[in-house]
A and B are shown apart, each in its own frame.
Chain A
């Protein structure tokens, strides 16, 4: 199957990016080097093409009731302009995808699912919307999304749009949606709008000094903050409680999967935990984790933190923070420790 391309695909190639297949998309993994791009975002400002992510619009009189039902958050509590990170669960309480719900007003919302989950989320919403007065439209192919992240990002926003933005708030500016969101743990925002406007914004921000950042650094940036990667840290088999994201749940409302979570809440279960390597080495997804000589689990995510210069990873274990574990890399078992995330 041919790979999908974002509206500025050719620009990535011209910039000399190394391109890879990511969730069926031909995407830049790095332009210069992952470490230098990572540091650019932590220290200055970077721009990411995340147009592979989806935009699903929900409108109608019962939109807020519907979205409260299909997500872990009580969306009817959000005010106009609020953005809220939450999870979409299946009937078993397992995470289908994580998403941000954008509140334009009490009858108009947008969800941004992950690239590989767009059609699954869209079909799920349609399936569950029978008894609600809502319209659900998948406009993922018509919209771009650029993330601008880093301590200097807000200066560029003022420079280009003469606007400022608050974390987890959105503003509309002509055709564009600008939101104080991102997935790096830095100050920043995401710009979404019709694909025809993407290239000129992308080029302007690069001219203003934003470093183009590939998916390689996107992964190390999110992992340092302990943020979940769809399909990697959850794959349809984990609940928000297991993923360590109980804060995405508003227990004071009814939602799909709530009954299952209420049962699990009072039981013992593995939770996604940070693993920090105490010896030199790089953690990778799939590496086995040992505790007291017994193989417990595997890493879901793993890399080297460019800032800490230590191996960091995530794994589903039932161990208190501080527990000494070992991670097997090739033929050696290296010392690690269960730590509280974020790593940084």
Chain B
């Protein structure tokens, strides 16, 4: 059973969005997504300062077998990226909601488009 913390927002494409800290929100992929991908061996992240529309491809997570696009869960600008993933992409598997976070986005829209934990869980059933 995959873990779905109550305090995060979600997309149907399996990204999570953390609560607002200052200007930005942390973004990563859910426990369900990391399990479906299996061993993440490479993560291609955007550059700080890049801007995305909601739903645009902003990153790619690659397992041995396949590459999966990761979509911007919200429109906005990249404030920071998790540089540790370059050396240690396996953090995405080991701690998808913790040290496996991917980017911090400064959203240019409110968070109302996101699913809550209960609604996200329902998309998995």
- Are the CB atoms of A280 and B86 closer together than 8 Å? yes
Which of A34, A303, A306 contacts B38, CB < 8 Å? Answer: A34
B interface list, Cβ under 8 A from A: 38-39, 41-42, 44, 60, 62-65, 67, 86
- Are the CB atoms of A282 and B42 closer together than 8 Å? yes
Which of B38, B60, B62 contacts A33, CB < 8 Å? Answer: B38
- Are the CB atoms of B86 and A35 closer together than 8 Å? no
Given contacts A30-B38, A281-B42, A304-B42, contact A216 B65 (CB under 8 A): yes
Closest to A220 in B: B64
> What's the least CB distance linking A300 to chain B, in Å?
16
- Are the CB atoms of B60 and A330 closer together than 8 Å? yes
Which of A18, A281, A303, A330 contacts B64, CB < 8 Å? Answer: A303
> What's the least CB distance linking B33 to chain A, in Å?
15
Does A29 reach chain B (CB closer than 8 Å)? Answer: yes
**Residues of chain A lying within 8 A (CB to CB) of residue B44:** 281, 330
- Are the CB atoms of B63 and A34 closer together than 8 Å? yes
**Residues of chain A lying within 8 A (CB to CB) of residue B63:** 34
Does A284 reach chain B (CB closer than 8 Å)? Answer: yes
- Are the CB atoms of B60 and A34 closer together than 8 Å? no
> In chain A, residues 296-332, which have Cβ atoms closer than 8 Å to a Cβ of chain B?
303-304, 306, 309, 330
Given contacts A280-B86, A282-B67, A284-B67, contact A34 B39 (CB under 8 A): yes
Number of interface residues of A (CB under 8 A): 19
> In chain A, residues 208-258, which have Cβ atoms closer than 8 Å to a Cβ of chain B?
216, 220
Please measure, in the bound complex, the distance between the C-alpha atom of A38 and the C-alpha atom of B63, giving whole angstroms: 13
Please measure, in the bound complex, the distance between the C-alpha atom of A63 and the C-alpha atom of B113, giving whole angstroms: 71
> What's the least CB distance linking B114 to chain A, in Å?
27
> What's the least CB distance linking A332 to chain B, in Å?
9
- Are the CB atoms of B64 and A216 closer together than 8 Å? yes
Please measure, in the bound complex, the distance between the C-alpha atom of A33 and the C-alpha atom of B41, giving whole angstroms: 12
- Are the CB atoms of B42 and A35 closer together than 8 Å? no
> What's the least CB distance linking A272 to chain B, in Å?
21
Please, what's the 1-or-0 string for A18-40, where 1 marks a CB less than 8 Å from any CB in chain B?
Answer: 10000000000110011110100
**Residues of chain A lying within 8 A (CB to CB) of residue B38:** 18, 30, 33-34
**Residues of chain B lying within 8 A (CB to CB) of residue A34:** 38-39, 63-65
**Residues of chain A lying within 8 A (CB to CB) of residue B86:** 280
> What are 7 A-B pairs with beta-carbon distances under 8 A?
A33-B39, A34-B39, A35-B41, A38-B64, A280-B86, A306-B64, A330-B44
> What's the least CB distance linking A28 to chain B, in Å?
13
> What's the least CB distance linking A224 to chain B, in Å?
12
Closest to A32 in B: B38
> What's the least CB distance linking B74 to chain A, in Å?
23
Please measure, in the bound complex, the distance between the C-alpha atom of A220 and the C-alpha atom of B65, giving whole angstroms: 9
> What's the least CB distance linking A1 to chain B, in Å?
24
**Residues of chain B lying within 8 A (CB to CB) of residue A38:** 64
Given contacts A280-B86, A330-B60, contact A35 B39 (CB under 8 A): yes
Please measure, in the bound complex, the distance between the C-alpha atom of A34 and the C-alpha atom of B64, giving whole angstroms: 7
**Residues of chain A lying within 8 A (CB to CB) of residue B62:** 281-282, 304
Closest to B38 in A: A33
8 smallest beta-carbon distances between A and B, as pairs: A35-B39, A34-B64, A282-B62, A33-B39, A304-B41, A33-B38, A282-B42, A216-B65
Given contacts A35-B41, A280-B86, contact A304 B67 (CB under 8 A): no
- Are the CB atoms of B65 and A29 closer together than 8 Å? yes
Please measure, in the bound complex, the distance between the C-alpha atom of A281 and the C-alpha atom of B63, giving whole angstroms: 11
> What's the least CB distance linking B39 to chain A, in Å?
4
**Residues of chain B lying within 8 A (CB to CB) of residue A18:** 38
Closest to B41 in A: A304
